[in-house]
Amino acid sequence: MVSVAELAGVSVRRGEKLLLDDVNLSIDEGQRWVVIGPNGAGKTTLLSILATTLYPTKGVVGILGEVLGAVNVFELRPRIGLTSASMAHRIPYREKVGDVVVSASYAINGRWHEHYDEMDFERAGRLMDYFGVAHLADRTYGTLSEGERKRVEIARAMMTDPELLLLDEPGAGLDLGGRERLVSTLNQLCASPYAPTTVLVTHHVEEIPAGITHALLLSDGRAAASGPVGEVLTDENMSAVYGMPLHIEQAADGRWTAKAAVTG
């Protein structure tokens, strides 16, 4: 197995607070991970480390064969695709959708005078097609619905053909239709042998695509459980982390549901 990310004894401290506390994690090529846990558990902090935008206070982080702190992160970042609320906020509202996607090859927000090859435009076109936003190529990003934006952001994150794809709460703020379209897109992506190793952060088990293979359950900065998704998303683990009796189920089509367990 080729390692894509390896965290050994990783802690992040800010003042008195431990945002991550001695986290160990090993992500291999081809795996599809979900990171789940209550508000403030450290999910975004963990994703920022994987995105190389945050360094740990303690511990060692290996990403794509390089050690964080001993590598030029600007060379590493094009190999990592990221969608997150803070990335999305940096996309100019007046930028055309086609330019939002193609400009990822220069790792910039907003086109200026860069030169793009025909191949860049072809790839952007194929990705917009794949994520169902090709018809929006000439619209400005600011005029899109939340669901359309999320799919454009994922197409953009895939533009550099990343080896690691990080998706931070892509379902946040979507209505039922938008969420279902997104899950269906992610199902397709996770099932593809050509898709990069993926790490998805979500609050809702209903948003976990069927092809997810592994899960990390974070609680108060610590890894409460990690490993194959079926072994991590159990009634016992989820109830302990959320502090209430929960019942978790995976349907035959791979979709997960969670609800309060009926007691008494």
Ligand X SMILES: Nc1ncnc2c1ncn2[C@@H]1O[C@H](COP(=O)(O)OP(=O)(O)OP(=O)(O)O)[C@@H](O)[C@H]1O
By the rule CB under 6 A, 72 interacts with ligand X:
no
Q: What gap in Å lies between CA 136 and CA 131, rounded to an integer?
A: 11
Could you say which of 4, 7, 33, 42 contacts ligand X (CB under 6 A)?
42
Q: Per CB under 6 A, which region of 38-46, 55-63, 100-108, 153-161 contacts ligand X?
A: 38-46
Kindly write down the DSSP assignment for every residue of the chain, as one continuous string: --EEEEEEEEEEEETTEEEEEEEEEEEETT-EEEEE-STTSSHHHHHHHHTTSS--SEEEEEETTEETTSS-HHHHGGGEEEE-HHHHHTS-TTSBHHHHHHGGGGT-SS--S----HHHHHHHHHHHHHTT-GGGTTSBGGGS-HHHHHHHHHHHHTTT--SEEEEESTTTT--HHHHHHHHHHHHHHHH-TTSPEEEEE-S-GGG--TT--EEEEEETTEEEEEEEHHHHS-HHHHHHHHTS-EEEEE-TTS-EEEEEPP--
User: Is 44 a residue that touches ligand X (CB under 6 A)?
Assistant: yes
Tell me the number of residues near ligand X by CB under 6 A: 12
Shorter beta-carbon distance to ligand X: residue 44 or 226: 44
Q: Whose CA is closest to 202, among 26, 27, 93, 43? A: 43
- Shortest reach from residue 237's CB to ligand X, in Å: 16
> Which of 5, 7, 10, 19 lies at the binding interface for ligand X (CB under 6 A)?
19
CB of 49 to ligand X, least distance (A): 10
Q: How far is the CB of 48 from ligand X (least distance, A)?
A: 8
Question: How far apart are CB 109 and ligand X at their closest, in Å?
Answer: 22
Decide: is 43 part of the binding site for ligand X (CB under 6 A).
yes
Of 30, 40, 92, 211, the residue at the interface with ligand X (CB under 6 A) is 40
CB of 166 to ligand X, least distance (A): 13
Residue closer to ligand X, measured from CB, 77 or 204: 204
Q: CB of residue 113 vs ligand X: minimum separation in angstroms?
A: 36
Per-residue tokens: 8? 């050994």
**Of positions 4, 25, 27, 41, contacts ligand X by CB under 6 A:** 41
**45 lies in the binding site for ligand X (CB under 6 A):** yes
| CB 149 to ligand X: min, Å | 19
Q: Choose which of 37, 62, 81, 209 interacts with ligand X (CB under 6 A).
A: 37
Q: Which residues bind ligand X (CB under 6 A)?
A: 14-15, 17, 19, 37, 39-45
